[in-house]
Amino acid sequence: MQPRKWIVWPMILALALFVVPTALQASSHDAAQEEGASTPTVEVSDQPIVDGTVTVDRVVAAQDGWMVIHAQKDGRVGPPIGSAAVMAGENAGIVVTVDVEMATETLYAMLHVDAGEPGTYEFPGPDGPVMVEDKPLVVPFMVTGQMTRTELLQQQVADLEAQVAALEAAWVQASTYQVANTLFLAAVGDLDDGAAVAQLRRVLLATHWPDEALASQAQELADTLNRLAKALASDEDTADLRSAAAEGRDALVAAGNRWLDRALGILEPAVEVSDQPIVDGTVTVDQVVAAQDGWIVVHTQKDGGIGPVIGYAPVSAGTNTNVAVEIDPEAASNTLYAMLHVDAGEPGTYEFPGPDGPVVLDGKPLAPAFQVLPSPEEEAMEEAEEEVVIDIRRFSFGAPLQIQPGTTVIWINQDAAPHTVTASDGTFDSGNLSQGAEFRYTFTEPGEYEYYCRYHPGMVSTIIVTGE
CB contact at 8 A, 67 and 94: yes
Q: Which amino acid is at 5?
A: K
The secondary structure element, H or E, covering residue 224 is helix 212-233
What pLDDT sits at residue 186? 62
Residue 53 CA: distances (Å) to CA of 19, 84, 91: 37, 11, 17
Residue 228 resides in a domain: yes
Number of Cα atoms under 13 Å in the Cβ half of residue 353: 1
CB contact at 8 A, 307 and 265: no
- Same domain flag for 288 and 353: yes
What pLDDT sits at residue 453? 96
Rounded CA-CA distance 316/296 in Å is 10
CB contact at 8 A, 315 and 296: yes
- Same domain flag for 52 and 93: yes
Residue 315 resides in a domain: yes
User: Quick one: how far is CA 352 from the chain centroid?
Assistant: 24
Last residue of one domain, picked from the residues 97, 130, 147? 147
Task: Give the predicted TM-score (pTM) of the model.
Answer: 0.34
Rounded CA-CA distance 79/429 in Å is 30
Long-range contacts of 431-438, Cβ-Cβ distance < 8 Å, separation of 24 or more: 433/392, 436/412, 437/412, 437/413, 438/410, 438/411, 438/412, 438/413
What CATH number is attached to the domain comprising 53?
A: 2.60.40
Residue 186 CA: distances (Å) to CA of 19, 183, 217: 29, 5, 12
What CATH number is attached to the domain comprising 444?
A: 2.60.40.420
pLDDT digits (tens, 9 = 90+) for 248-285: 888 887 777 667 655 655 457 889 999 999 999 999 99
What pLDDT sits at residue 236? 81
- Same domain flag for 350 and 321: yes
- Same domain flag for 365 and 453: no
Last residue of one domain, picked from the residues 147, 162, 196? 147
Name the burial class of residue 276, with classes exposed (0-12), middle (13-18) and buried (19+) by CB atoms within 10 angstroms of its CB: middle
pLDDT digits (tens, 9 = 90+) for 306-332: 999 999 999 987 778 899 999 999 999
- Same domain flag for 141 and 68: yes
- Same domain flag for 184 and 255: yes
Angle at 19 between CA 14 and CA 22, to 5 degrees: 135
Strand partners, 92: 58
Torsion of CA 386, 390, 391, 394, to 10 degrees: 170
- Same domain flag for 234 and 274: no
CB contact at 8 A, 403 and 465: yes
Residue 8 resides in a domain: no
- Same domain flag for 203 and 233: yes
| CA dihedral over 393, 396, 402, 408, signed as positive or negative | positive
What pLDDT sits at residue 85? 95
Residue 357 resides in a domain: yes
Listed residue (285, 371, 283, 372) closest to 326, CA to CA: 283
| CA dihedral over 60, 64, 70, 75, signed as positive or negative | negative
Structural domain span for residue 427: 385-465
- Same domain flag for 111 and 187: no
For every residue of 301-343, DSSP letters joined together read EETTEEEEEEEEEEE-SEEEEEEEEE--GGG--SEEEEEEEE-
Rounded CA-CA distance 460/454 in Å is 10
- Same domain flag for 330 and 407: no
- Same domain flag for 253 and 276: no
> For residue 354, how many other CB atoms are within 10 A of its CB?
11
Ranges under pLDDT 70 in the chain: 1-37, 149, 152, 163-189, 257-258, 260-267, 377-385, 468
Residue 17 CA: distances (Å) to CA of 14, 21, 205, 377, 413: 5, 7, 27, 41, 72
Last residue of one domain, picked from the residues 355, 376, 397? 376
Provide CB contacts within 8 A for 136, sequence distance 6+: 77, 110, 129, 130
Rounded CA-CA distance 145/48 in Å is 5
- Same domain flag for 372 and 281: yes
**Phi and psi for 355 in degrees, rounded to 5?**
-70, -20
Rounded CA-CA distance 313/343 in Å is 11
What pLDDT sits at residue 165? 67
Residue 101 resides in a domain: yes
Number of domains in the chain: 4
What pLDDT sits at residue 381? 59
Torsion of CA 216, 218, 224, 226, to 10 degrees: -120
Residue 161 resides in a domain: no
